[in-house]
């Protein structure tokens, strides 16, 4: 992710400091960041802080002597692949909505042809004011994007909507627009992720070591490509990607019920969850007390969700995962055929650098036509990109 430029317009509000976090994340992706600060924004955080993180000079005044022979608001407007107004106060929203261009930020917004995203942050009464809401709706009708503010305790002590959206959500929203492709536009994608659990008693259960990282990366990539994404997830510690419908489940049975609820209306189904294959034959309603001897439990097979979907599928593209500790290619191919899949992703769970919990993966794709693609170690998000490239080929 490089050769992109985001121009961030910082207007005056208590949430100004959060713009620094967003800049830091963007720079880590090698995205160029240019900053424009309004006069009031400089009362909260100095331009030097933004200069240090963005590694570029900060523009603060339309009438500063230019560092090069160029009209700055025009050059920044042309340079931008995306403009982000963060935080966006009622003042800057109102200016743009009514065609007022009286400072560096408002004139640059007027001059750019890049997508413009506003991240509002203000007192809840201001945000709910009909004038502000009318200005927001007016800008939306012109194609400007808005990141909805969160609800919570505001700096003024009030409770309500108006708090700046979470930094991670803002960052993901920017990436979604900056690198958006539309090859899944209008498609519904269903993804399962994480482990499931099999309860033993009210206290104990068995599960596996899946963290859900791969499935969540797949959901993020599907969203970036324009799909309508539903993510059915077992217990994880990962925040769901912005703009993805999340359904939390615990057991095999719960996952099966949710998957079947959405399956018929889905175009692409990717079963990356590590679903428990076995459950206890009998569940104890009371906590099993510790005895003197060993505790013996009897297990029975649980539902094979992927096989059910393979039998049920009509026009859906069905993708499975094979987490293997030996004979990876052979076992993955057998699973592909047995469960009537269109594509299977095989990975070696014994690999030290790409096993459970890793941010990276090393996989093989095998299609139902027998084509094989081996990927070297790469981030799980990169694997997700390659996966959808393969799916697009199947989809034609």
Residues recognised as catalytic? 156
Spatial separation of the C-alpha atoms in residues 233 and 216, rounded to whole Å: 9
Residue 52, sorted as left (phi over 0), alpha (psi -120 to 50) or beta, turns out to be: alpha
Spatial separation of the C-alpha atoms in residues 191 and 185, rounded to whole Å: 16
Q: Is 287 annotated as a binding residue?
A: yes
Q: Is 339 annotated as a binding residue?
A: yes
DSSP assigned state of 99: T
Structure tokens at 166: 């979470």
Structure tokens at 246: 């999340």
Count of other CB atoms within 10 angstroms of residue 254: 16
Closest CA to 86 of 183, 14, 180: 14
Q: Is 61 annotated as a binding residue?
A: no
Q: 54 to each of 24, 105, 157, 273, how far by Cα in Å?
A: 7, 17, 32, 38
Buried b (16+ CB within 10 A) or exposed e, 102-130: ebbbbbbbebbebbbbbbbbbbbeebeee
Binding site residues, as ranges?
A: 277, 287, 321, 335, 339
Binding site residues for CTP, as ranges?
A: 277, 287, 321, 335, 339
């Amino acid at each position: 992710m490089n050769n992109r430029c985001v121009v961030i317009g910082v207007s005056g509000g208590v949430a100004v400091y959060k713009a620094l976090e967003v800049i830091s994340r963007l720079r880590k992706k090698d995205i160029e960041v240019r900053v424009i600060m309004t006069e009031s924004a400089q009362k909260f955080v100095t331009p030097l802080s933004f200069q240090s993180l963005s590694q570029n000079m900060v523009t603060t005044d339309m009438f500063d002597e230019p560092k090069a022979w160029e009209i700055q608001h025009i050059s920044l407007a042309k340079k931008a692949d995306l403009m982000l107004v963060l935080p966006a106060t009622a003042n800057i929203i109102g200016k743009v909505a009514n065609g007022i261009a009286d400072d560096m930020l408002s004139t640059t917004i007027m001059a750019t042809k890049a997508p413009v995203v506003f991240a509002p942050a203000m007192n809840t009464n201001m945000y709910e004011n009909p004038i502000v809401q009318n200005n927001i709706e007016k800008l939306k009708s012109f194609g400007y994007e808005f990141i909805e503010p969160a609800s919570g305790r505001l700096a003024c002590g009030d409770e309500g909507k108006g708090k700046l959206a979470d930094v991670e959500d803002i960052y993901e929203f920017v990436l979604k627009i900056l690198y958006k492709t539309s090859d899944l536009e209008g498609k519904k994608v269903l993804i399962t992720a994480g482990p499931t659990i099999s309860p033993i008693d009210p206290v104990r259960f068995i599960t596996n070591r899946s963290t859900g990282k791969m499935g969540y990366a797949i959901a993020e990539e599907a969203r970036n490509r324009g799909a309508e994404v539903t993510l059915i997830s077992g217990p994880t510690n990962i925040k769901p990607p912005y703009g993805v419908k999340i359904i939390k489940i615990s057991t095999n049975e719960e996952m099966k019920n949710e998957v079947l609820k959405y399956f018929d209306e889905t175009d692409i189904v990717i079963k990356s969850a590590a679903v428990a294959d076995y459950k206890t034959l009998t569940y104890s309603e009371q906590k099993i007390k510790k005895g003197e001897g060993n505790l013996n439990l009897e297990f029975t097979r649980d539902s094979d969700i992927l096989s059910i979907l393979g039998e049920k599928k009509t026009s859906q593209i069905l993708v499975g995962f094979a987490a293997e500790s030996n004979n990876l290619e052979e076992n993955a191919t057998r699973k592909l055929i047995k469960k009537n899949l269109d594509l299977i992703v095989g990975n070696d769970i014994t690999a030290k650098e790409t096993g459970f919990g890793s941010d990276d993966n090393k996989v093989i794709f095998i299609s139902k036509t027998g084509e094989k693609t081996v990927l070297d170690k790469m981030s799980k998000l990169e694997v997700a990109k390659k996966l959808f490239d393969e799916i697009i080929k199947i989809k034609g």
